[in-house]
Structure 1
């Protein structure tokens, strides 16, 4: 026993209070760092069978995580189409979070490297973190994407200090709870409705993002949608070096070979102007992600294949490759209507598909079947996220250096095999189309210049104000990708033609009707001296309001010179070539004005004129100024009177037919009033009589139903697939109503795939000459074709004698005996038809019709054998649809 004199005592009032205070503070800190588990907030694990998390629940959880940790912040980046506040989270060390402004400033300097020397770069990247953007849920029906981010955030924040720092000492993660808040809720609400019924895997009954649904990932360069603009604005303000978007594929489909996850590299072909350094890094990263899956014992990762190519530039994710970011998507098995339901794939079924379970070069550990649930999908997504973080931390300096070099090489040499510049004159058939195109490029980070004086370029004289886009700029690879001509390669897989994963040709000058002149040789010094960078006063980016392109200073500077109104009189004559003319017409009719159609041409390049009267002249002038319409004052009084239209738009009970939404968006954007008509509305003779015209967007057989299946319009989903109230189509009852509607003088408009329904069931004397043709004989998908226009028909008012139309597995018409009506659009007998994309079997088009006006009783059926409103991009043919409604 120790002696008392050696025993130490603590005097009251000395050290004890300090220890107590220290312990109290430490305990308070530790308590604040207790990370709430998903189960404690949601009441179940993330990915639990029969349970889905909606957007508000996710945001509530992310806020709880932020409150509990100094490793995460949340930021408001905008609002969705339905008005939901949209948030991102930023995860890194507390030190990095305190220095976010400096980190972003350095990132911007690397992303925009003009004038930055390699020596100065080395100083920047010595301690500069890599910014990684990870997200999911863009395609909301691929539901694991929006679920897994909750689990991933939790796992990162609960790490011990050493493990967390190993990832985030030189990394900043931008983690979106979801890329589609509205869609996440639509899907979760749908699952709640069906999960306790006999159809817990029923397909969605509507699109999962306002207007566009699944096409929300095809709006990358057009930026028509609110959500697309918020994404682009956020990514251009963060410029992440790595951008990973999680997707999902339908399980067990013919194209998946029963692998569990597809990862880059992509299949051939990839985008022509994809920066090589960035593409190589993306391919390497794909292997890193696969390795992470192997490390954790998760089988079935594969690459390349025959399905996912990256040829199309319009993907919201892949377009960032042209900003020199490592940007891509991945595909986990299990999307397409599986929701939170469990399912099992028998081993023999997988073996039958694969042939054997032997290792393959890109499928080294085949999945052998068994249970595959939402929790598995979440686990695969979370795992590859760790692979991304590992790649970022181990290759940080190379990633930053290659981003810099990719930009400087483009500045110094301009994109390989592309023009050195593109010239866009201000004198355009529809000046607004040029402004629209240029503002979208500017919002995507492209620099645009104007001539300060008249200059000769490549033998042609251009006036002051002409827009010029040099391609030797850091994001210059994007310019030829959208303004240039696409030539999709002819690729055979054995005896089968390799089909484009999406589209083959999208050249904006053709689809938008904008005159653009590429310049092959470098611009002369005197031209360069005459160029001035476009920059305007940007509108404020308000996260609480609709996103405007003019929040970008370059886009704000793209304006058309004001022009004085010509002529005299109290009425305003409008050019039918100009899309905004139809907005003014609709405003006038809504405000009890008068609109007539005069067959006299507005000018030498357009036949027909719309004349507006009965509206205060100052009001007309204000509208014209706002809409950038020149117009002419006139005293024309006589002509065909136009009434305010009552338009019906057919909407099936299915989420995959987003052509409905694009049509609705286009009409509403041009201030037409349109009602969605469902099956019961079509069947009801009293309802349909209220409408002047009913439009059937592109709707063919249900996906996977086969070419011989009848139209989805007629039969819809069977009761074996969905709830009774969403089953069926218009049926014979609705068909009879349509026939009565026609006989009474109504008008029906059918677009692209829906034409087959009209020909067959309305007994039209029209033949589709390419129906049933083998691909080896005829194939045209997602391409722009040259067509001839019947300018004598009022439905083609304002359309040039020749125009480019968007052909997408479309019908081609030949009229039969008994046909009454007019050919509106046809393919030329001679000359090249393909303008951009791919075409096999051109002779099947020659001399045949692409659009018809068919007289049926007192009524009219209009058949468009193409998509005049395709994805909101075909500005040159919008007016075809508008005129068709009025005449």
Structure 2
């Protein structure tokens, strides 16, 4: 080697070492250290720091943009592992996905792959952006894992691939900037943020993961359910229950009956690792089980959707934030018990403490994964294999209603057999319901065979979604929701027959013999929430979220449950490949075109046609009432051709203009209510209106109170919790957690958003609007406007006390948390055009009415939907549902020259309830 070449080599080496990016300290980059009181980092700063960490650690950190947010920011995921693992990352990812799907693997092959692979662990932060511990622990943990050189960190990097993912960049930017805007640190607060911290849905961004409407949800869902399928996902939240530091795994009952038990016990194992580490580090205050409200029942949350995919989904809810606070005294939490083995004492609590706890919890999870990568990989395979086996044979999921049927039948039979006045065996069974007495005889097996294991009660082997149903484009959206969550879909390439029924080509088939069978059942089958009370005869225990949500029911999808194994001319679609309905436009349309109002996406086409200046008419009578007629023209053909391709709608051609009455479709001046701080139901509705191309204006209480509404708007939409309760009461369950700021504390640009709807000012303005010919659409609790206006309707869910005073039914008698119920619909009414005669609704202790018979006869009010019987429950929990019979759940009423529409159900619920969107759309022309 020449001296010259040696010097050149040394120069290049020194240049390489000198040019390698160095991670500045947190203080240098942010101006403070993560966890400092009264200081928050925004997303711009965080993104830049992530990039500096990645640049300084190119061998261990790969920074990936997984998509754009709703506000257009890059959503980041940092993949962190050892250089050796990065060199074979594609293979490790392949093993993770293969093990999770468990297709075509033997136990022997699975053991070999488990030995070859590495554990994949997801750690996220920031989904709820006011929960700033969650966001900042992500920064701190990424920094520690990439900078620490201890043996534990090395073992983690050698055996684990970590996916550090930011869930809500937009929200972090908004919240951190808002908090930091005050120069005086002691005046900084987050309580008065002017809008939702996710563009449309705020806190409900954690209720979106089984349908994935939001861009952030789709970005995350693809990584979780299609690209990586980690064995563990850890979802950071806050606020811990009062008197504790945090709530974590394991969680309280009920857990969902479709889960594989390995997922539930996997949560137990990780939970033990987490609270054991905190105890070893003298960090008290971890509560679990019944120490908090968190369960594993609900699907749809970022953490909970993973449970239905055999992942060990972890949630912690921790106290703390940039503003110091107190751990309050809650006496009942001071005594150690199984819920809280190591209680915390009342004390001042600081941001840094919560960050330290969170890092310890992350390390506990990562250390467990590093020590057990083969077990985690094999266990997720085994759970998937179990699901495939259950879906390949007769299997019965043990639902509470079936156990209840056994107990009822046995008690009834014993009562008939026992001498009068004696309880007999039934009394003995009731005295020992859990079989603690080992010598007890139990219940005869015949009850199990007939009421739990009857052939008709088997779980389905699959589901068929016919392509000839009325609103097939919406059915395809449902299929795409399944695809986004990693479900294997098959599609018929030719007509076929199953159980004597013929199905057309293009129908979709979803078989349950696949790894994520729990999720499939959860999307198609009813949820059977158990009767859950504080004590016998006492008040109900509120579910963590909804009790029932069956997405196929919400979306109005028609499908058939197939109980036996079946096959046909089916092709398997590639995982993650989204579908589009086969749209078409009739070649022969000399008389124009027809669009069915049964198809939700027809409203998009109509709005686009009207915006393009084309005439559209609505047929108002006859068998086609509600359908849209478009006169034939070259421009109409082109516009409809584009719509059929992008929307998948079928456009029928007609030889001549349809006979009968019709009216021209004209766009109305639509106003949608919102409030300072943001309304989630309003945000969901805003997103829906944008998706369906309705032009609208967002209005606030001050706009309503200003009056002269008819000069500006034709229709005003009030979502739930907009209209104040009639004669006291509180429509907004979050009101206790919200602080109304003073106007002089708020920047001028946000002051028009302030104010509240009131009976004194807002209601008279709305009455004048209606009397002048305006339309008002009310949803959920906002149907209270009918009472404010003195309409001839009353609350159907009341009783008379012994003193003769009418009061709402107590929860001990009647309680229906978020569930799916079936109602009858007047589908001939203009307000209900396109809906079937029976419709599933989202019902959350929703308003139900009795209408004055005289007023109905005179046409003052007209029912649109009602409960025809005493068993309307389709999915979820309905205690005392018999009280609903004959109650009206939707109606229209004349008010002067205008009209009020009252929809008690949540007809736009979380943009999931596609089956009832038309109740909103029909009122917007």
Shorter chain as denominator, the TM-score bin is 0.7 to 0.9
Q: What is the alpha-carbon distance in structure 2 between the residues aligned to residue 106 and residue 710 of structure 1?
A: 50
Equivalent in the alignment of 2:365: 388
Per-residue deviation, residues 831-857 of structure 1 (Å, max 9, x unmatched)? 621111111222321112111111111
Secondary structure in structure 1 of the residue aligned to 2:250 = coil
Give the counterpart of 1:619 among 638, 643, 648.
Answer: 638
Equivalent residues in 2 for 1:559-578, closer than 5 Å: 559-560=581-582, 563=584, 565=586, 568-578=589-599
Equivalent residues in 2 for 1:295-310, closer than 5 Å: 295-305=280-290, 307-310=293-296
* Greater mean alpha carbon deviation, residues 265-274 or residues 762-771: 762-771
Q: What is the alpha-carbon distance in structure 2 between the residues aligned to residue 245 and residue 68 of structure 1?
A: 27
Q: What is the alpha-carbon distance in structure 1 between the residues aligned to residue 675 and residue 792 of structure 2?
A: 26
- Does the 8 Å contact 2:467/2:505 carry over to 1? no
- Does the 8 Å contact 1:88/1:174 carry over to 2? yes
Equivalent in the alignment of 1:243: 233
Give the counterpart of 2:841 among 802, 805, 825.
Answer: 805
Q: What is the alpha-carbon distance in structure 1 between the residues aligned to residue 622 and residue 318 of structure 2?
A: 56
How far residue 180 of structure 1 moved from its aligned partner, in angstroms, is 0.3
Alignment pair present for 1:828 and 2:867: yes
Q: What is the alpha-carbon distance in structure 1 between the residues aligned to residue 639 and residue 653 of structure 2?
A: 11
Q: What is the alpha-carbon distance in structure 1 between the residues aligned to residue 99 and residue 734 of structure 2?
A: 52
- Does the 8 Å contact 1:50/1:195 carry over to 2? no
Equivalent in the alignment of 1:736: 764
- Does the 8 Å contact 2:493/2:571 carry over to 1? yes
Distance 1:198-1:759 versus aligned 2 partners, 3 A rule? farther
Give the counterpart of 1:260 among 228, 240, 245.
Answer: 245
- Does the 8 Å contact 1:206/1:653 carry over to 2? yes
Per-residue deviation, residues 519-564 of structure 1 (Å, max 9, x unmatched)? 12233xxxx36433235xxxxxxxxxxxxxxxx65424x643x555
Distance 1:559-1:864 versus aligned 2 partners, 3 A rule? closer
Q: What is the alpha-carbon distance in structure 2 between the residues aligned to residue 65 and residue 714 of structure 1?
A: 41
* Greater mean alpha carbon deviation, residues 377-386 or residues 195-204: 195-204
Alignment pair present for 1:86 and 2:81: no
Alignment pair present for 1:71 and 2:71: no
Q: What is the alpha-carbon distance in structure 1 between the residues aligned to residue 17 and residue 112 of structure 2?
A: 36
Q: What is the alpha-carbon distance in structure 2 between the residues aligned to residue 421 and residue 712 of structure 1?
A: 40
Equivalent in the alignment of 1:293: 278
Secondary structure in structure 2 of the residue aligned to 1:278 = helix
Equivalent in the alignment of 1:342: 324
Alignment pair present for 1:753 and 2:791: no
Give the counterpart of 1:179 among 154, 159, 167.
Answer: 167
Per-residue deviation, residues 419-478 of structure 1 (Å, max 9, x unmatched)? 111111112121112111112212221112234454442343334443221100122221
Give the counterpart of 2:93 among 76, 81, 104.
Answer: 104
Q: What is the alpha-carbon distance in structure 1 between the residues aligned to residue 565 and residue 23 of structure 2?
A: 58
- Does the 8 Å contact 1:681/1:688 carry over to 2? no
Alignment pair present for 1:423 and 2:413: no
Distance 1:591-1:461 versus aligned 2 partners, 3 A rule? closer
Distance 1:688-1:51 versus aligned 2 partners, 3 A rule? farther
Q: What is the alpha-carbon distance in structure 1 between the residues aligned to residue 68 and residue 713 of structure 2?
A: 34
Q: What is the alpha-carbon distance in structure 2 between the residues aligned to residue 166 and residue 559 of structure 1?
A: 49
Equivalent in the alignment of 1:548: none
Equivalent in the alignment of 2:669: 646
Q: What is the alpha-carbon distance in structure 2 between the residues aligned to residue 620 and residue 706 of structure 1?
A: 51
Secondary structure in structure 2 of the residue aligned to 1:174 = strand
Per-residue deviation, residues 572-631 of structure 1 (Å, max 9, x unmatched)? 22211111111111112112222222223455xxx4322223752422441442231333
Give the counterpart of 2:27 among 35, 39, 52.
Answer: 39
How far residue 143 of structure 1 moved from its aligned partner, in angstroms, is 1.6
Equivalent in the alignment of 1:378: 355
How far residue 808 of structure 1 moved from its aligned partner, in angstroms, is 1.1
Give the counterpart of 1:793 among 817, 829, 833.
Answer: 829
Give the counterpart of 1:361 among 335, 338, 347.
Answer: 338
Equivalent in the alignment of 1:213: 202
Secondary structure in structure 2 of the residue aligned to 1:262 = strand
Distance 1:286-1:203 versus aligned 2 partners, 3 A rule? farther
Q: How many residues align?
A: 831
Secondary structure in structure 2 of the residue aligned to 1:169 = helix
How far residue 120 of structure 1 moved from its aligned partner, in angstroms, is 2.6
Q: What is the alpha-carbon distance in structure 2 between the residues aligned to residue 747 and residue 826 of structure 1?
A: 19
Instruction: Give the structure-1-normalised TM-score.
Output: 0.88
Equivalent in the alignment of 2:420: none
Per-residue deviation, residues 224-257 of structure 1 (Å, max 9, x unmatched)? 11111111112221221111110112x6xxxx24
Distance 1:613-1:683 versus aligned 2 partners, 3 A rule? farther
Q: What is the alpha-carbon distance in structure 2 between the residues aligned to residue 794 and residue 702 of structure 1?
A: 28
Secondary structure in structure 2 of the residue aligned to 1:258 = coil
Q: What is the alpha-carbon distance in structure 1 between the residues aligned to residue 238 and residue 542 of structure 2?
A: 20
Give the counterpart of 2:220 among 226, 231, 254.
Answer: 231
How far residue 295 of structure 1 moved from its aligned partner, in angstroms, is 1.7
Distance 1:450-1:158 versus aligned 2 partners, 3 A rule? closer
- Does the 8 Å contact 2:122/2:163 carry over to 1? yes
Distance 1:707-1:39 versus aligned 2 partners, 3 A rule? farther
Q: What is the alpha-carbon distance in structure 1 between the residues aligned to residue 484 and residue 830 of structure 2?
A: 36
How far residue 773 of structure 1 moved from its aligned partner, in angstroms, is 2.2
How far residue 567 of structure 1 moved from its aligned partner, in angstroms, is 6.8
Alignment pair present for 1:814 and 2:850: yes
Per-residue deviation, residues 786-827 of structure 1 (Å, max 9, x unmatched)? 111112311111111111111112111112476753334333
Equivalent residues in 2 for 1:461-860, closer than 5 Å: 461-494=502-535, 495-523=538-566, 528=567, 530-535=569-574, 554-556=577-579, 559-560=581-582, 563=584, 565=586, 568-601=589-622, 607-613=625-631, 616-626=635-645, 627=647, 628-633=649-654, 634-636=656-658, 638-655=661-678, 657-686=679-708, 689-699=711-721, 708-709=729-730, 718-719=740-741, 723=745, 725=751, 727-731=754-758, 732-756=760-784, 758-770=785-797, 772-816=808-852, 821-830=860-869, 832-860=871-899
Q: What is the alpha-carbon distance in structure 2 between the residues aligned to residue 190 and residue 706 of structure 1?
A: 36
Distance 1:712-1:471 versus aligned 2 partners, 3 A rule? closer
Alignment pair present for 1:131 and 2:123: no
Distance 1:442-1:602 versus aligned 2 partners, 3 A rule? farther
Q: What is the alpha-carbon distance in structure 1 between the residues aligned to residue 743 and residue 821 of structure 2?
A: 38
Equivalent residues in 2 for 1:316-327, closer than 5 Å: 316-327=302-313
Q: What is the alpha-carbon distance in structure 1 between the residues aligned to residue 187 and residue 140 of structure 2?
A: 30
